[in-house]
Amino acid sequence: MLFLYLGCGKLTMRKLFLPILILLLASSLANADGVIKRRVGASCSTQSFDVQNTGGATNTEVFITEQYAQSFKPGVTGDLYSISFEVGTAGAGATIEVRVGTSANLTTYLVQKASCAVPAGIGYFECVFSTYPTLTSGTTYYVGYQSTAGCIMKEGSATYADGQEFYEATTDWDLTGSGNAWDLNFKTKMCD
């Protein structure tokens, strides 16, 4: 066995290796913002719906040169499993990139789903994240999306009390200052 002598004591490779391994594991579990992320399936075998807005009846077309976001407040503290959006008309062929963050500037975010397929039919479709950020009840978060092809999403005028819609004809993920009196139809699902 290899020993290192430091002063009066000896340090084995085992004692040296364990702290280094712990540091490496901890750093691999955090994203660029230092937020600890969970691995797929880690304590999220069941989920429940948390907050939602289903009151909007207006179709809005999402072009590839536009971005939408919606602010919301979780009703429980826990790990966000997925976000669902409502398709107003058949949206086959489109995919959306979804980001969740703590401000309308989504260039910095907690989690992202790079490609979520929009189904051929109408109704809600779910974007499940591969890592689950921990959200705090009553704190405002922002979910934004951008489409790779035109698709139709549902929205409504002031139908969700704890947030608002953001819209810009841009692709830079900074929707700061673009809030309006509309709300996207959405549902959040949290890990149980």
- According to the model, what pLDDT value does residue 64 have? 79
Question: Tokens 């692709």 belong to which residue?
Answer: 171
Q: Are residues 142 and 64 in the same domain?
A: yes
Q: Are 62 and 109 part of one and the same domain?
A: yes
* d(C-alpha 53, C-alpha 121), whole Å: 20
Q: Do 137 and 71 share a structural domain?
A: yes
Q: 148 with 94, same domain?
A: yes
Confidence category of residue 12, pLDDT binned at 50, 70, 90: low
Is residue 145 within 8 Å of 128, Cβ to Cβ? no
The predicted structure's pLDDT at residue 42: 52
Say whether both 165 and 136 belong to one domain. yes
Contact assessment for residue 168 and residue 175, using Cβ atoms and an 8 Å cutoff: yes
User: Amino acid letter at 69?
Assistant: A
- Per the structure, the count of domains in the chain is 2
Token representation of residue 117: 């397929």
List the domain range (segments joined by +) for residue 22.
1-30
Domain assignment of residue 178, yes or no: yes
The DSSP line for 9-46 is EEEEHHHHHHHHHHHHHHHHTB-TT--B-PPTTTT-SS
- The structure's pTM equals 0.75
